[in-house]
Structure 1
Amino acid sequence: MEAGTWVALVLGIGGAGWAITQFFVTRKDTRERDERDRLGAQASAQHERDTELERRWVQEKRLIYVRTQTVLSDLLDARTDMLTKPVGSPERQAAIDTDNAASILMNSVHAEINLLAPDAVRDAVFAAEQALEEVGAALLIDGVRTPPDPIGAATESCRAALNAMRADLGIGPVRDWRTAIED
């Protein structure tokens, strides 16, 4: 065999070997890339599911906190009216009716707060309710000592409960408690 033939033969075998090696290396790289892409897609899908669950969770807590805020506001307004309206007046009777309805709603709020709210929110809501109950007891039961500023203490407790709920949702605190009547 001539030298040129040997060179062509060596180059041909070397080229074929290189091509076969490249085929298997590329095939391995393709498999690894496909696996990375598949795992990345799974991670992305899981992240989207987690984000959606977190969004739903925050939305559910927000709705519960809105109901809680509404009931506390109704109780505070009713107890304020019960303190300020004359005994036997239609306004006072309407306040008593509102108070009774809000007290019933507070039971369902308790269940949701107990189930889903963190301890800081639960404690603040129950402290606000306790302050409102003290006002109600002073109004409705003879011989119960009325605190010096019953509405002020109840208002402050309601504001603390509102701020605890806002903090749990990642919202800043409010300075004042305002009801729909005051706005």
Structure 2
Amino acid sequence: MRDEDLRWILSTLLALDADPAVKVAVLTADTGGQARPVFCGGYEITEANPEARNALFTTTTTALAQLRPVTLRALRGSVYRPALDLVVACDIRAAVSGTTIHLPMEMSPLNSKSFYARVSRHLGIDGARRAFLSGNAISTEEPGTRGVFEGVIRPGAFDAFDAFDGYVGTLVGQIATLEARTIQSVKQAPAPAWR
């Protein structure tokens, strides 16, 4: 991921937020054809000004966490480094079986306090410490990630991602039937505990 990717993500999020017809935003990546699918391999630092770079990343993840529509992260591949913030900032997460999360010990300066807080809330204190201090990959199927993911879907041998896409589509359909007021009351009232 590069600076221009974050700028595009941010502008897209702001457009979705401003459109009252949008109830659900699905965030995913095309990982087709990859031998070992990767949702995001990290952040390529191209911004010369560290303050501007950090502000852009923080602004983007904050916008995602506070987006009016329900945000559903559909992980079709593994996540590395600060990109995890773009996963845990979402309201709901689903993943394809075999997806892993990688948090190397040398953390990026892009990781804000809100990122550490979100990871701790989702993985628990022990899980977050293990993730940050050991540098070992975490599988979405591990017990410590239960509750983080709405579902971890094992695609069949012949249908590739069809089972996962079907699961995500069903979930989106369920959310879309909810009234806008219901969605907002759920998103706003427990925000401090969830994020």
Sort the TM-score into its range (normalised by shorter chain): under 0.3
Superposition TM-score, scaled by structure 2 size: 0.26
TM-score, length basis structure 1:
0.27
Determine which structure has the larger strand proportion and give its number.
2
Higher helix proportion: 1
